[in-house]
Amino acid sequence: MALGPEILPYLPIGPDGAMKQVYLVVFLDDSTRFVLHGEFYPVMDQSLVESAFRQAIQKYGVLESVYFDYTEKNTMPKNRLVPM
Protein backbone atom coordinates (compact mmCIF):
# COMPACT_ATOMS: atom_id res chain seq x y z
CA MET A 1 0.00 0.00 0.00
CA ALA A 2 1.41 3.38 -0.97
CA LEU A 3 1.00 6.36 1.31
CA GLY A 4 -0.05 9.56 -0.39
CA PRO A 5 1.23 13.02 0.59
CA GLU A 6 -2.03 13.80 2.36
CA ILE A 7 -1.17 11.36 5.18
CA LEU A 8 2.56 11.97 5.58
CA PRO A 9 3.66 13.26 8.99
CA TYR A 10 4.72 16.79 9.92
CA LEU A 11 7.62 17.63 12.24
CA PRO A 12 8.64 20.99 13.79
CA ILE A 13 11.74 21.45 11.61
CA GLY A 14 10.83 24.66 9.77
CA PRO A 15 11.89 28.21 10.68
CA ASP A 16 11.03 28.98 14.32
CA GLY A 17 9.84 25.40 14.80
CA ALA A 18 7.14 25.59 12.12
CA MET A 19 5.59 22.26 11.20
CA LYS A 20 6.93 20.91 7.90
CA GLN A 21 5.88 17.80 5.98
CA VAL A 22 8.54 15.08 6.05
CA TYR A 23 9.19 11.88 4.12
CA LEU A 24 10.36 8.62 5.66
CA VAL A 25 12.93 6.49 3.84
CA VAL A 26 13.31 3.02 5.35
CA PHE A 27 15.29 -0.05 4.34
CA LEU A 28 13.90 -3.27 5.86
CA ASP A 29 15.04 -6.87 5.89
CA ASP A 30 12.29 -8.54 3.84
CA SER A 31 12.06 -11.71 5.93
CA THR A 32 12.41 -10.31 9.47
CA ARG A 33 11.19 -6.72 8.93
CA PHE A 34 14.30 -5.56 10.82
CA VAL A 35 15.01 -1.88 10.10
CA LEU A 36 18.43 -1.60 8.49
CA HIS A 37 18.17 2.18 8.29
CA GLY A 38 15.37 4.71 8.48
CA GLU A 39 15.37 8.48 8.43
CA PHE A 40 12.93 11.39 7.96
CA TYR A 41 13.78 13.93 5.27
CA PRO A 42 12.22 17.36 4.51
CA VAL A 43 12.14 16.56 0.77
CA MET A 44 11.96 13.37 -1.29
CA ASP A 45 15.02 13.36 -3.47
CA GLN A 46 16.89 10.54 -5.19
CA SER A 47 20.18 11.55 -3.56
CA LEU A 48 18.61 11.19 -0.10
CA VAL A 49 17.35 7.69 -0.91
CA GLU A 50 20.85 6.80 -2.12
CA SER A 51 22.33 8.25 1.08
CA ALA A 52 19.97 6.17 3.26
CA PHE A 53 20.84 3.08 1.18
CA ARG A 54 24.57 3.69 1.70
CA GLN A 55 24.02 4.07 5.46
CA ALA A 56 22.21 0.72 5.58
CA ILE A 57 25.14 -0.90 3.76
CA GLN A 58 27.67 0.77 6.06
CA LYS A 59 25.84 -0.60 9.11
CA TYR A 60 25.07 -4.14 7.90
CA GLY A 61 27.21 -4.86 4.82
CA VAL A 62 26.39 -5.45 1.18
CA LEU A 63 22.88 -6.78 0.69
CA GLU A 64 22.16 -9.95 -1.28
CA SER A 65 19.27 -8.33 -3.13
CA VAL A 66 17.27 -5.10 -2.93
CA TYR A 67 13.65 -4.38 -3.80
CA PHE A 68 12.43 -0.80 -4.16
CA ASP A 69 8.82 0.31 -3.78
CA TYR A 70 7.95 3.72 -5.19
CA THR A 71 4.75 5.52 -4.25
CA GLU A 72 4.46 7.17 -7.65
CA LYS A 73 5.03 5.60 -11.04
CA ASN A 74 8.24 6.81 -12.68
CA THR A 75 9.42 8.60 -9.52
CA MET A 76 13.02 7.56 -10.08
CA PRO A 77 14.85 6.29 -13.16
CA LYS A 78 14.52 2.57 -13.86
CA ASN A 79 17.55 0.31 -14.19
CA ARG A 80 19.90 2.88 -12.67
CA LEU A 81 22.78 1.36 -10.77
CA VAL A 82 24.00 3.25 -7.73
CA PRO A 83 27.82 3.38 -7.56
CA MET A 84 29.13 2.31 -4.16
What are the distances in angstroms from CA 34 to CA 28, 37, 60?
A: 5, 9, 11
pLDDT at 1: 40
Contact 49, 43 (CB under 8 A): no
Average pLDDT over residues 34-38: 92
Residue 73 has pLDDT above 50, yes or no: yes
CA distance 70 to 53: 14
Give the model's confidence band at 79: pLDDT under 50 very low, under 70 low, under 90 confident, else very high. low
Residue 59 has pLDDT above 80, yes or no: yes
Provide the whole-model pTM.
0.66
